[in-house]
Amino acid sequence: MSTAIIMEPDIQQKLAILGSEAAEEVTDVPATQSIQQGIQHATGFVYNAKQAGGGTTRLFKVLQTNACRYRCHYCFTSCAIQRKRTTFKPDELATTFVSLTEQKRVDGLFLSSGIVPDANTTMEKMLGTVERLRLKEGYTGYIHLKLIPGAAFEYIERAVQLADRVSLNLEAPNQARLNDLAPDKEFASTMWGRLAWAAALIKRARQEGRPAARSLTTQFVVGAVGESDRELLETVQRAQRELGLWRAYFSAFHPIARSPFAEQPAADPTRALRLYQSDFMLRDYGFRYDELPFDAQGLLPRDKTPKQAWAERHLHAPVELNCATRQQLLRIPGIGPKSADKIIAARRAAKLRDLAQLRALGVTTSWAAPYVLLDGRRAAVQLGLW
């Protein structure tokens, strides 16, 4: 009778598996060019995350484990999929990250995980990795730590103390949609409730002057179970108001081989782009979700930005840029928060009279021109030949 020998993968093999699988989760705003050309933002385990002020930072994006107790229909870690499973021990993962930073290959850590055998055990391992980095290795750089649905309060509290950003993927806008997407999960308590705990802990730490995570984010899967854009953005606005949510991310569904949704068509990435643009309108432009240009099915237009569609419906009279308020400026297509502030500063020195001045201030004049007056006159617009 022969004896089977099971060999645990070495660190490089674990890195290949858990780094590449973490990269499958898309967490970046799809640019028009990337939609057309299919450009990826991750190379192996290095994820080039966009920074708020411009530029990118290289994150070591990795899973603590790709084993999971849940059978989420869309997810590559689902227990319903037969695949090679492995786990990083906290010390292994911490020393691997330190080595990558010493080689100047990464600038920060983005740590997520499958969930096995339960939420608390998983969070304990993830926190063990981060505590090793913070307390033993003296690492003071950027760490984004995913929270595990259903984890106990003390684990959420410790995560907020140690990480620069914490997040928990809501995945769906409500329980009804979550039932179809991830039937083993519960929306109100184990997911939204844990985000609410984190939000309260962050707020309290700020009030008391203690260090804590700087921001809170979430993510949704788009286009897998028939949810509308209205449902998604209503939940996003609620999270912004109740939780102080910093960002919502939208991942266009793509089928994974051998998963329960393997035969479903991939979602149009343009839809995710329109959701991001609408999220910016809610966060930075002063819009409410019920002002957004949904159709009868609760969907946003694909052929134009939501701000262009809103302007076509509501901006019937052009806006004089030399006296418009900041709020009025932000409602005009082609004008964002930065260019609105530049317009307000520039018109203190001289009247704005032509599109060239606006272009110099960062305005997309081809979008803005139909909706503006410059010193009482409509902007001259070059018409197309056909």
Please tell me the distance from the alpha carbon of residue 238 to that of residue 160, in angstroms, as a whole number.
Answer: 21
β pairing state of 142-146 and 108-112: parallel
Residue 251 forms beta bridges with which residues?
A: 221
Q: Which amino acid is at 168?
A: L
Distance CA 296, CA 310 (A): 15
100: Cβ contacts below 8 Å, ≥ 6 apart: 60, 106
Please name the residue ranges forming H helices in the chain.
11-22, 32-37, 90-102, 119-131, 153-162, 175-181, 193-208, 229-243, 269-284, 306-314, 326-330, 337-349, 355-360, 365-368
The pLDDT averaged over each successive group of 10 residues in the chain (386 residues) is 49 72 58 41 70 82 91 72 81 95 95 95 98 97 97 98 98 98 96 98 97 97 97 98 97 87 93 97 95 97 97 96 97 97 97 96 96 91 47
Q: b/e map of 3-15 (b: 16 or more CB within 10 Å)?
A: eeeeeeeeeeebb
- For 50, list phi and psi in degrees, rounded to 5: -75, 140
- ∠ CA 93-84-60, nearest 5°, is 30
Half-sphere exposure of 21 (CA within 13 A, CB side): 25
Residues 6+ apart with CB under 8 A from 195: 147, 168, 170, 216, 218, 239, 243, 245
Q: What is the pLDDT of residue 34?
A: 44
Is 66 in contact with 85 (CB distance < 8 Å)? yes
Query: Please, are residues 130 and 162 in contact by the beta-carbon 8 Å criterion?
Result: yes
How many CB atoms sit inside 10 A of residue 233's CB?
A: 28
Residue 110's H or E segment, with its range, is strand 108-112
State how beta strands 247-252 and 215-222 pair.
parallel
- At 364 the pLDDT is 97
Task: Find, among 75, 44, 78, the residue nearest to 61 by Cα.
Answer: 44
Pair 33, 269: CB distance under 8 Å: no
The reply to whether omega before 269 is within 30° of 0 (cis) is: no
Judge contact between 18 and 63, C-beta under 8 A: yes
Structure tokens at 58: 């290289």
CA Rg value for the chain: 23
Three-state secondary-structure class, residue 299: coil
